[in-house]
Chain A
């Protein structure tokens, strides 16, 4: 039977233009821009200097604290400079700029394609390897994986949940990766199970990816403990809390981590990165990115090195179409509009989406008609219309009481609102203010 989460949800048009397309390797950029903060938490501290020669996989910056992550060079060449560069938000952030020369890899990295199934490392060693490789959650939240796999004292994980949902419209990078690297992902999952000491894992895949579902059902027969669950298509099923509800029917209490209900959630792309880190000694230096858009010449999935400017990806996919009004890094629901094409791909960039002019424009906001569509759509059971009014009058205490901090910023409320009210904008603002307080 098809499962799905029980509260809220919406059904935006899927528009998976690049589905079923194989992953292509994109040419190396002339210059790679590697931000020191590609993860949630403390920015990494650079260990290289201007003028240094680096290889692919050389450590550029080491983790700057407990919630932080290592950053490795995605290319080989010379460090051009370490400077502040405008990131996807237009604010300047420290980054390492590398002029690319050739493609020389570190000797420790196993670059062969052979599948390495056996893993003899202990849980501690696996976590160590994951931390060293700088792996972060690749679904978009970019939370350092080694921290997520280490439940706070007093809690115990019972089940590992693997997120193969990819509920964002347009995006197909996880889908492509699942079709191409199924076996590797399965090994990655068994490594993750070993790391968090659980004997059960569930892979959740929405049933619009029938081929991936079939493949994983076939593969899972050889891996005891791992099951595959087909899910009804619904946004935001890829949200951690929604996926837990859909698969094991448990609700994570407000303000708590998923491990409070015994679950740890990891993305399929993260599982693949873990496989590469543990079995092949390969740090996180490249990822699969979907380049898509209704007017784009050749929507496709590419394997791009971290630090490749978005502009080069767009050129590869047929160039910027006329009338493009918005470039979005990520999916249309939760992605971020970019201010230029020089912004590089980061560890959490799952897609580049080009939206043509009429569709990109926001419609004029009208008064709330109290239809409560946002209330039905909210997957966290909040009252978005009320929270927005509270924030218009800066009522922080009341907003906190109404669990504004539980918002997962999925944007379902703004999407569904017939009066085009910017519900999420105000809720996000309030969430920030309440947390700060």
Chain B
């Protein structure tokens, strides 16, 4: 009895002393923090992916509060919805950002791009590309070791076991850009998601001359400039033997897709070709 009482008094006293000390210490070292930082952090996706360019979501929240205008700041994961909420808390406005998505600009699967040698070294794109050009004739194409897969925090990119090329899961991709940075061949690009998720892009990054590019891959861009000529919106430019489509100008008419002799231009999420006449009718040049 006596012993229990003693213990209770003793521990209680230690607790009381500790609480008093902590109270004064917390008073002395109090840090004034903007309560909005915490509130913004609650809205953010908490993925800490770094896609915004800041170290994690807390860093981004701090930057939002500090910034006078939010135009330069954007959370690619949360998108416009989240940014609007952030702006609501801070009483500021945000510019509407067009949703983006990652695309892989290589279509050289095992059928299109034949192997010329076998690599049995470390399965890592960065290492493999520092050693040599790759196990096919194309030194610009995908190596298939999956550095992009490792870089993705959202499980949105996977290597297709049949084609051995990475594929982006549209539902999961947040356009944070981690895979873009991870690819040593710079094959991944962030492009506009497009209306109904429809996109057209050149699925090739080969900068060799046409003949050499075609020799190493069936679906290589050979820079024949047919697409450039057929494009009614001047959206296609050819540089370093490679065509690229400007997604600001592209109106998704799909003329280039039909024109490309090597099928290097990829279309995604379009309805089947039968419905095409509708689009052609709207096309200004064909009317003339």
Taking Cβ atoms with an 8 Å cutoff, the residues of A that contact B are: 84, 86, 88-92, 336-337, 339-340, 361-362, 365, 422, 425-426, 428-429, 432
A88 to B130, alpha carbons, bound, how many Å? 12
Chain B residues contacting A92 (CB-CB under 8 Å) are 139, 208
Contact in complex: B121, A362 (CB < 8 Å):
yes
A337 to B118, alpha carbons, bound, how many Å? 11
Among B2-39, those with CB < 8 Å from A are none
Of residues A89, A90, A361, A426, which shows the largest number of chain B Cβ atoms within 10 Å of its Cβ? A90
A84, A89, A336, A422: the one within 8 Å of B208 (CB): A84
Asked if B122 is an interface residue, CB under 8 A from chain A, the answer is yes
Contact in complex: B133, A90 (CB < 8 Å):
yes
Asked if B275 is an interface residue, CB under 8 A from chain A, the answer is no
Tell me the smallest distance from the CB of A433 to a CB of chain B, in Å.
9
Contact in complex: B139, A428 (CB < 8 Å):
no
A429 to B127, alpha carbons, bound, how many Å? 6
A336 to B208, alpha carbons, bound, how many Å? 24
A106 to B137, alpha carbons, bound, how many Å? 38
Supply 19 further A-B pairs (C-beta < 8 A) apart from A89-B131, A336-B131, A362-B121: A84-B208, A86-B139, A88-B132, A89-B133, A90-B133, A90-B134, A92-B139, A92-B208, A336-B132, A337-B132, A339-B117, A361-B120, A422-B121, A425-B127, A425-B131, A426-B122, A426-B127, A428-B127, A429-B130
Tell me the smallest distance from the CB of A294 to a CB of chain B, in Å.
19
Asked if B116 is an interface residue, CB under 8 A from chain A, the answer is yes
Known: A86-B139, A425-B121. A339 touches B133 (CB 8 A): yes
Contact in complex: A339, B120 (CB < 8 Å):
no
A340 to B117, alpha carbons, bound, how many Å? 8
Among B197-213, those with CB < 8 Å from A are 208
A192 to B127, alpha carbons, bound, how many Å? 39
A336 to B121, alpha carbons, bound, how many Å? 12
Known: A86-B139, A425-B121, A425-B122. A339 touches B132 (CB 8 A): yes
Contact in complex: B127, A90 (CB < 8 Å):
no
CB closest residue in chain B, given A360: B120
Contact in complex: A91, B139 (CB < 8 Å):
yes
Chain B residues contacting A91 (CB-CB under 8 Å) are 132-133, 139
Q: Mark B205-248, 1 if CB is under 8 A from A, else 0.
A: 00010000000000000000000000000000000000000000
Contact in complex: A362, B120 (CB < 8 Å):
yes
A91 to B128, alpha carbons, bound, how many Å? 12
Known: A86-B139, A340-B116. A428 touches B130 (CB 8 A): yes
Tell me the smallest distance from the CB of B23 to a CB of chain A, in Å.
39
Chain B residues contacting A337 (CB-CB under 8 Å) are 131-132
A391 to B134, alpha carbons, bound, how many Å? 22
Chain B residues contacting A428 (CB-CB under 8 Å) are 127, 130
Chain A residues contacting B139 (CB-CB under 8 Å) are 86, 90-92
Asked if B73 is an interface residue, CB under 8 A from chain A, the answer is no
Asked if B126 is an interface residue, CB under 8 A from chain A, the answer is yes
Known: A84-B208, A92-B139, A339-B116. A422 touches B133 (CB 8 A): no
Chain B residues contacting A84 (CB-CB under 8 Å) are 208
A275 to B42, alpha carbons, bound, how many Å? 74
Q: Mark B252-268, 1 if CB is under 8 A from A, else 0.
A: 00000000000000000
Ordered by A's residue number, 29 sampled pairs between the chains whose C-beta atoms are within 8 Å are A84-B208, A86-B139, A89-B131, A89-B132, A89-B133, A90-B133, A90-B134, A91-B132, A91-B133, A337-B131, A339-B116, A339-B117, A339-B133, A340-B116, A340-B117, A362-B120, A362-B121, A365-B122, A422-B121, A422-B122, A425-B122, A425-B124, A425-B131, A426-B122, A426-B127, A428-B127, A428-B130, A429-B130, A432-B130
Of residues B116, B127, B134, which shows the largest number of chain A Cβ atoms within 10 Å of its Cβ? B127
Tell me the smallest distance from the CB of A91 to a CB of chain B, in Å.
5
CB closest residue in chain B, given A392: B124
Chain A residues contacting B131 (CB-CB under 8 Å) are 89, 336-337, 425
A90 to B208, alpha carbons, bound, how many Å? 13
A84 to B131, alpha carbons, bound, how many Å? 19
Chain A residues contacting B134 (CB-CB under 8 Å) are 90
A337 to B124, alpha carbons, bound, how many Å? 17
Of residues A428, A429, A432, which shows the largest number of chain B Cβ atoms within 10 Å of its Cβ? A429
CB closest residue in chain A, given B116: A339
A89 to B135, alpha carbons, bound, how many Å? 11
Chain A residues contacting B124 (CB-CB under 8 Å) are 425, 429
Chain A residues contacting B208 (CB-CB under 8 Å) are 84, 92
Chain A residues contacting B127 (CB-CB under 8 Å) are 422, 425-426, 428-429
A127 to B117, alpha carbons, bound, how many Å? 43
Tell me the smallest distance from the CB of B137 to a CB of chain A, in Å.
8
CB closest residue in chain B, given A363: B120
Contact in complex: B121, A90 (CB < 8 Å):
no
Q: Mark B70-100, 1 if CB is under 8 A from A, else 0.
A: 0000000000000000000000000000000
Tell me the smallest distance from the CB of A115 to a CB of chain B, in Å.
43
A426 to B126, alpha carbons, bound, how many Å? 9
Tell me the smallest distance from the CB of A330 to a CB of chain B, in Å.
13
Chain A residues contacting B120 (CB-CB under 8 Å) are 361-362
A-B pairs, 10 with minimum CB distance = A90-B133, A422-B122, A90-B132, A89-B132, A425-B122, A425-B127, A339-B117, A91-B133, A362-B120, A91-B139
Contact in complex: B132, A429 (CB < 8 Å):
no
Chain A residues contacting B116 (CB-CB under 8 Å) are 339-340
